[in-house]
Structure formats: C-alpha cells, structure tokens
Amino acid sequence: MTITLHPVAIAHTPFAEKFAIPRQPALAPAARARIELLPPYNSPLALEGLQQVSHVWLIFQFHQALASSRQQPASLRVRPPRLGGNEKIGVFASRATHRPNSLGQSVVALEKIEGCSLWVSGVDLLDGTPILDIKPYVPYADAVDGAHNQIASDAPTLIDVNWQTQALDQAQQQASRLNQDVVALVQQCLAQDPKPAYQQPTPERHYGAQFWDLNIRWHYPAPNRICVLAVERIS
Ligand code: SAM
C-alpha cells in the first residue's frame, strides 16, 4: 500500500543545517519559528479555536533524511546520539531521523497566530521542514502521570558556554538586524553540546553551524566547556 501525504504548512526556522539543532523540542525556548499554512489550509477558518491552546503538536517529515530511506528500507536498529553514538537500539525505541516514513513529531509552545501563520517556540526543526499536520496539545491526555523512559530519562546535561567579547558584540549587532534573540539562541543550542558524544574535542579544533544567514563558530577550551569565537554574517 502506498500513501501520499501533502504538507499543510512549511516551517521557517533559524536552523539552516542539522548540526546544533536541539535534539528535542523545548530544549531551546529561544528557537522561534513561523509555521506558514499552505493552500488549501491557508485560511483563518482552519485555525478557528486555536487561540485557546498554549501548545501544539507538529507532525512533520524529516525531509533531509529522506534520500537514503527512499533507496532502501530504514535500518531496524539505530545508534542514538544520546547513547554516545556507539550503542544500538531498535528503531522504534528511538526518535532517530532515519526511520520508516521519515515522520517526526514535536510539541511546541504557540506564541501567537498572525494571519495564516503560527509563531511557535522551542522548535527542533530544520528550516523548510514540511509540516504534515498540526494538532492541539491536550494536557489531560498527552501528559502522562508516572511515565518513564529509561533510555532518555532526563533532558541532556547542559555544558558551560562562554563568549569571546568580539563574538558577543557580533551576536548583539546581528540580533538588531534580524530582530531575533541571537545570543539566547546560540547560548541555549550550544549548551546542549552539539558535537557527537564520542568525540574528544581538542582546543585547536573549531566547530561551526549556520543559524539564519549567520556562521556561528566555537571551540572547546576544555572537554565540557564551549567558547563562542564568532557570529558572522555569510556574505
Ligand atoms: N522531536 C522530533 C521527534 O521526536 O520526532 C524530532 C527529534 S530528532 C532526534 C531532532 C533532530 O532532527 C534535530 O536535532 C535535527 O538534527 C534533525 N532534523 C530536524 N528537522 C529535520 C529535517 N527536516 N530533516 C532531517 N533532519 C531534521
């Protein structure tokens, strides 16, 4: 059986590449996004009542994990970054992006509705991610008392993020241009420690990621400490 799905919306997020995106929603509250409804759902009628809701579920496609899953079925076992990238578990025991049908789901805070766009925060989605459905969060059903997950019991431990003076100045300048809280976003995303858990970073090794049109660069002066080196506009 083949099922064809059509996006109902597109996510406009700060994250131009996968690296340094938080691994789950709500970990970086400064990660704000605009969810733009697409025809034929780009009507205020489709949003009637949503003003009464604080959070929504976004059901989406990992569109940048698609290429490999089209060529062959997803692997039955995956190596989640949380387990250091070496240990394997079943694909259905993980939130891996390479999975059957490439479907993801994230619960995000609904900040406001503006025309046919939803402004949300705490996203873990790449810019341009196709949204397949939007559903209201229902606290009495979705928040499960006594639930546990022994593979991912708590949010990841945060690491220290310091800034070189020049990088902080650059981030503040870019924040005014973009009208976005660049400092908070960089701080919150890097505190999650984006590098693969198995890597032992040396201070000489520089890392980078793109948020909007900004090249964010950092290094690890010590294994569990990040220093932001630059926040430069890509010309
Ligand atoms: N909360 C969702 C879930 O559980 O289904 C996503 C979890 S997944 C582990 C989050 C990661 O997916 C992000 O850190 C990012 O690297 C990756 N990602 C986000 N959007 C993507 C997209 N459109 N295509 C491929 N990978 C994506």
- The pLDDT tens digits for 131-146 are 999 999 999 999 999 9
**16 and 112 co-located in one domain:** yes
Mean pLDDT of 143-171: 96
Per-residue pLDDT at 69 exceeds 70: no
Give the binding-site residues of ligand 1, using a 6 Å CB cut-off. 18, 21-25, 62-65, 95, 97, 104-106, 124-126, 129
99-123 per-position pLDDT tens digit: 999 999 999 999 999 999 999 999 9
Task: Say how many Å lie between the CA of residue 67 and the centre of ligand 1.
Answer: 15
116 SS3 class: coil
In this structure, of 20-29, 72-81, 170-179, the range with the lowest mean pLDDT score is: 72-81
In a domain, residue 150? The reply is no
Q: Judge if 135 and 177 occupy the same domain.
A: no
- Check residue 134 and give its pLDDT: 98
Residues 130 and 20 in one domain: yes
Are 98 and 135 in the same domain? yes
How many CB atoms within 10 Å of residue 96? 20
Please tell me the residue having the least CA distance from ligand 1 atom 1.
Answer: 106
Confidence of residue 70 (pLDDT cuts 50, 70, 90): low
Domain with 200, as residue range(s), is 160-233
Asked, for residue 16, whether it belongs to a domain, the answer is yes
Residue where one domain finishes, among candidates 112, 142, 172? 142
Mark whether 173 and 229 lie in a shared domain: yes
Q: Is 165 found in the same domain as 138?
A: no
> Is-contact 219 207, C-beta < 8 A?
yes
Q: Is the pLDDT of residue 68 over 60?
A: no
Domain membership flag for residue 1: no
Q: Dig out the tokens for 206 from the structure.
A: 């520089």
Which residue owns the Cα nearest ligand 1 atom 14? 23
* CB burial readout 121-133, b (16+ within 10 A) else e: bbbbbbbebbbbb
In a domain, 83, yes or no: yes
Share of the chain above pLDDT 90, in %: 90
Do 119 and 184 lie in a common domain? no
Choose between 86 and 219: higher pLDDT: 219
- Nearest-Å Rg of the Cα atoms of the chain is 19
| Residue 154, in any domain of the structure | no
Q: How far apart are the first and last CA of the chain?
A: 47
Examine the domain organization and report whether 40 and 115 are in the same domain.
yes
Q: Kindly report the pTM of this predicted structure.
A: 0.96
- Residue 77: inside a domain, yes or no? yes
**Is residue 18 within 8 Å of 64, Cβ to Cβ?**
yes
Give the end of a domain, one of 87, 113, 142.
Answer: 142
171 CB-contact burial (10 Å; exposed 0-12 / middle 13-18 / buried 19+): buried
> Which range, of 5-9, 48-52, 53-57, 196-200, averages the lowest pLDDT?
196-200
Number of domains composing the chain: 2
Helix ranges, the chain (H): 66-71, 139-142, 165-178, 182-190
ipTM: 0.99
Which residues are CB-contacts of 28 (< 8 A; sequence separation ≥ 6)? 22, 122, 124, 185, 188, 189, 192
The answer to the question of residue 218 being in a domain is yes
- Judge whether residue 60 has pLDDT over 90: yes
Q: In this structure, is residue 33 part of a structural domain?
A: yes
Look up the CATH number of the domain holding residue 208. Answer: 3.30.2310.20
CATH label of the domain that carries residue 137: 2.40.30.70
Which of residues 108, 142, 176 is at a domain's end?
Answer: 142
